[in-house]
Amino acid sequence: MKMAHLITNCTFSASPAVKTFSGSPSYCCNVGKLQNSKSLNLSLKSSSKREKKSYVTCASAAVQGQTQTPLTGSQEASGHSSSKPKKVMVIGGDGYCGWATALHLSNKGYEVAIVDNLVRRLFDHQLGLDSLTPITSIQNRIRRWKSLTGKTIQLFIGDICDFDFLSEAFKSFEPDAAVHFGEQRSAPYSMIDRSRAVYTQHNNVIGTLNVLFAIKEYSEECHLVKLGTMGEYGTPNIDIEEGFITITHNGRTDTLPYPKQASSFYHLSKVHDSHNIAFTCKAWGIRATDLNQGVVYGVRTDETAMHEELSNRFDYDGVFGTALNRFCVQAAVGHPLTVYGKGGQTRGYLDIRDTVQCVELAIANPAKPGEFRVFNQFTEQFSVNDLAKLVTAAGAKLGLDVHTKSVPNPRVEAEEHYYNAKHTKLIELGLVPHLLSDSLLDSLLNFAVQYKDRVDNAQIMPSVSWKKMGAKPRTVSV
């Protein structure tokens, strides 16, 4: 007879005790140190060989001092009660976008639970990387948030590729909305070698499938807010619409999903996610919003700035660092800005403060049952050369001698191209963008200067080549 899976509700005290149960390997971090590191040697084997047992670790479900969140007409029509805060599960809530989003939603009066296996911390451990900002353990983060605001965030530690674990989390928390950040999110990481390409696609596609099945089986009214990527579209020589395009062919007209031209194994996993979500909306009546996000920059939100233990990640390396963040760190330490190839690569960009705002807007205005919505989530478009010029000018005002150099492009991509993507739907819902300004660039550069002693110059240059992928995992010696 199959044993029931256990859930423990535990309020974090001054001396945290992470409770785990036998079975799946424990991805638990305490005070910034990885525990059970041998079991965390990420061989990236197929999950079919994993045991079916699971564990859940969570904080107290009681939420004190939260304000009621007004519901829209569509929320009331969907049966959500206005007598209590909406419950939002943030999958991947220990990561860059997820952590900022979890705090923002909690601060706005939502009842929040984080689901995470903490594997992003493991990637740093394996590759010898580190955030520019010191990052404390997830338990310390949540305790600090509680002490500052009186608000509790539940924590479920486990792997969403383990459906038994995910099922227990859904049944325990009963979310009204699930915000899904729980994917390997780096294109370069997916291109390091075969095992990491396989891991990325397995983790992302199977994890998302599990979330869809959990919604279907345990929380049919739950609204899925999924972080997609503008990288699904590639760089077509026509305008990029928001998810769908109306075409006329041989005299007949139809509205179809916008063509996908993914440029890495990571982006391809997101394309597959989108197809699976669209299918389940049609087949099962799931309500879903796919947020095709551009490149995010910045580090601080109102919530993460409240205390140093709430600080967000700030990645500057060639694997996880995004362009503007990397350029600011390079300028701070006197390293030339690394422009890949001709530098004409143009993408949509947005401030991390707008990421959390967009997610909140999507939750407050949910999709209808059976509806698959796609929003292009960015606020401005820049080429890599544009960003380099902006950082150079901002650095000069601060007395920094900033130079730019072209380096061989490690990616396979067009380095000069047409790019015009639509992004009106979130504006129509009320998004008030934080546009890239001189003051924001000054803030980012000053932040990078503040922590420049933590920069590892060996991690600045790109180390992953799309054309020279390795056959075996490359990890650091411990």
| Best CA proximity match to 21, nearest among 51, 54, 50 | 54
CA atoms of 315 and 455, how far apart (whole Å): 10
Q: Which of 229, 280, 322, 404 is catalytic?
A: 229
For residue 350, the SS3 value is strand
| Best CA proximity match to 316, nearest among 32, 96, 31, 41 | 96
Q: Which of 96, 218, 266, 316 is catalytic?
A: 266
Q: DSSP letter for 81, please.
A: -
CA atoms of 58 and 173, how far apart (whole Å): 10
Q: DSSP letter for 342, please.
A: T
Q: DSSP for 290-333, please give it.
A: EEEE-EEE----TTGGG-GGGPPP---STTT--HHHHHHHHHHT
Specify whether 20 is catalytic. no
For residues 266 and 320, is the Cβ–Cβ distance under 8 A? no
Specify whether 266 is catalytic. yes
Which helix or strand (DSSP H or E) is residue 5 part of?
A: none
Q: DSSP letter for 66, please.
A: P
Residue type at 210 in one-letter notation: N
Specify whether 27 is catalytic. no
| Best CA proximity match to 14, nearest among 116, 147, 113 | 147
Between the alpha carbon of residue 273 and those of residues 1, 53, 330, the distances in Å are: 35, 26, 34
| Best CA proximity match to 216, nearest among 124, 279, 147 | 279
Q: Which of 270, 316, 322, 338 is catalytic?
A: 270
For residues 360 and 305, is the Cβ–Cβ distance under 8 A? no
Active-site annotation, residues? 229, 266, 270
